[in-house]
């Protein structure tokens, strides 16, 4: 038994003993969890599913795309496992309202366990506060490392998770353009230092607050995946959101883009796109599960149905005082409305 799991059982048993009467047994969920973990190799992890178990869908990420898929996936057909460094979803359009006191911060964050209750109650569905470091497509496994913060935390540990279906919804990160020592720099800026930026002609420009707004690009994890890439470096997908070069792998959200061979443009990195893709893919996986294609390598000959088609429904930008600009894309008129 690895040390991290022994400590987990001890902490859980201690907590339960303080809350329950001495006549009750410890929660069986701890031992159920251990029964599904493998310790055969250097890294513990979730073993491949057995014939008497439901197929396992592993979702990487907890953003708009991943959470919409988690919400709609049929947990009577699948066990779900979410791996993300964030255990909640943030409703990003309302973040500005929390900064000025219009909304509480907890009003724009939703726990993953509430979005998909099976993660909290089903014995074979889990959430891991971790980062996926690599994917072994041939063996249907992902390699993960736990997220730890602060000086008094445990050292991160590595583990593996076997999947029947893998959904990459890892999002994107701010584009840095390769400038050393900065996260948010672009254009003629050569370097960013405390209280000043340095231009390519060595001119120093002092600042009090620096705002970066140059869009997003693929993360280091996405760059490390050995799969065909779409324009811009995103994970390449076909019309059914599959990664066509490997089996049982899908990609949705900001980390994905249509391959040039599909003839479709790469969709913008918008919440509306990600949410729509998550909804579509959940329905597709549910249909595959009902047709007996939920397990690894079981959907090769199945019909995937209609391809994904994105229809833009318009956009809205808040301008304060409960007013917003709305572009419905049905006309060239932009409306100002109260909400």
Cα–Cα distance between 89 and 60 in angstroms, integer?
13
**Is the pLDDT confidence value at 185 over 50?**
no
| 324-328 mean pLDDT | 80
Cα–Cα distance between 308 and 16 in angstroms, integer?
47
Residues in the chain: 339
| 104-121 mean pLDDT | 92
Most confidently predicted of 29-43, 90-104, 175-189? 90-104
Strands 189-193 and 315-320, by their bridges, are unpaired
Residue boundaries of the structural domains of the chain:
29-174+215-290, 176-214, 311-339
**Tens digit of pLDDT for each residue in 196-253?**
888 777 778 788 877 766 567 788 889 899 999 998 889 999 999 999 999 999 999 9
**Is the pLDDT confidence value at 121 over 70?**
yes
Rg of the chain on CA atoms, in Å: 23
Give the tokens for residue 316: 């809205």
**Is the pLDDT confidence value at 171 over 90?**
no
Fold of 29-174+215-290: FAD/NAD(P)-binding domain (3.50.50)
SS3 277: helix
Strand partners, 318: 324
Q: What is the pLDDT of residue 70?
A: 96
Question: How far are the Cα atoms of 82, 112, 125, 128 from residue 116, in angstroms, in the given order?
Answer: 10, 6, 10, 14
Query: What's the predicted TM-score (pTM) here?
Result: 0.77
**Tens digit of pLDDT for each residue in 238-296?**
999 999 999 999 999 999 999 999 999 989 888 899 999 999 999 999 999 999 999 99
In this predicted structure, which of 16-25, 52-61, 174-183, 312-321 has the lowest mean pLDDT?
16-25
- What single-letter DSSP state applies at residue 36? T
Question: How far are the Cα atoms of 57, 87, 182, 237, 328 from residue 126, in angstroms, in the given order?
Answer: 11, 11, 36, 27, 39
Q: What is the pLDDT of residue 181?
A: 53
Q: What is the pLDDT of residue 113?
A: 92
Residue with the larger pLDDT of the pair 296 and 193: 296
| 32-52 mean pLDDT | 68
Secondary structure of the chain: what % helix, strand, coil (to 5)? 25, 25, 50
Cα–Cα distance between 19 and 305 in angstroms, integer?
50
| 13-33 mean pLDDT | 43
């Amino acid at each position: 038994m690895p040390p991290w799991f022994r400590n987990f059982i001890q902490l859980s048993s201690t907590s339960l003993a303080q809350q329950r009467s001495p006549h009750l047994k410890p929660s069986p969920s701890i031992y159920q969890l251990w029964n599904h973990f493998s310790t055969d190799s250097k890294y513990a992890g979730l073993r491949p599913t057995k014939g008497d178990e439901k197929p396992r869908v592993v979702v990487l990420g907890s953003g708009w795309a991943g959470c919409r898929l988690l919400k709609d996936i049929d947990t009577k057909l699948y066990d779900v496992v979410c791996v993300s460094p964030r255990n909640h979803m943030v409703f990003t359009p309302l973040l500005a309202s929390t900064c000025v006191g219009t909304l509480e911060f907890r009003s724009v964050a939703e726990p993953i366990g509430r979005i998909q209750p099976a993660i909290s109650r089903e014995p074979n569905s889990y959430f891991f506060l971790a980062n996926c470091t690599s994917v072994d497509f041939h063996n249907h496994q992902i390699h993960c490392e736990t997220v730890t913060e602060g000086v008094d935390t445990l050292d991160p540990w590595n583990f593996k998770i076997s999947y029947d279906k893998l959904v990459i919804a890892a999002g994107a990160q701010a584009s840095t353009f390769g400038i050393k020592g900065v996260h948010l720099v672009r254009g003629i800026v050569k370097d960013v230092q405390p209280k000043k930026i340095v231009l390519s002609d060595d001119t120093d420009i002092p600042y009090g607050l620096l705002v970066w707004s140059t869009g997003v690009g693929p993360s280091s994890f996405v760059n490390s995946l050995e799969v065909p890439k779409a324009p811009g470096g995103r994970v390449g997908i076909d019309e059914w959101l599959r990664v066509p070069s490997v089996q049982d792998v899908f990609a949705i959200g900001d980390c994905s883009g249509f391959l040039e061979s599909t003839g479709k443009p790469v969709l913008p990195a918008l919440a509306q796109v990600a949410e729509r893709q998550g909804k579509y893919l959940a329905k597709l996986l549910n249909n595959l599960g009902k047709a007996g294609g939920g397990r690894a390598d079981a959907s090769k000959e199945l019909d995937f149905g209609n391809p994904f088609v994105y229809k833009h429904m318009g956009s809205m930008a808040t301008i304060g005082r409960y007013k917003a600009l709305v572009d419905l894309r049905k006309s060239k008129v932009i409306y100002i409305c109260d909400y």
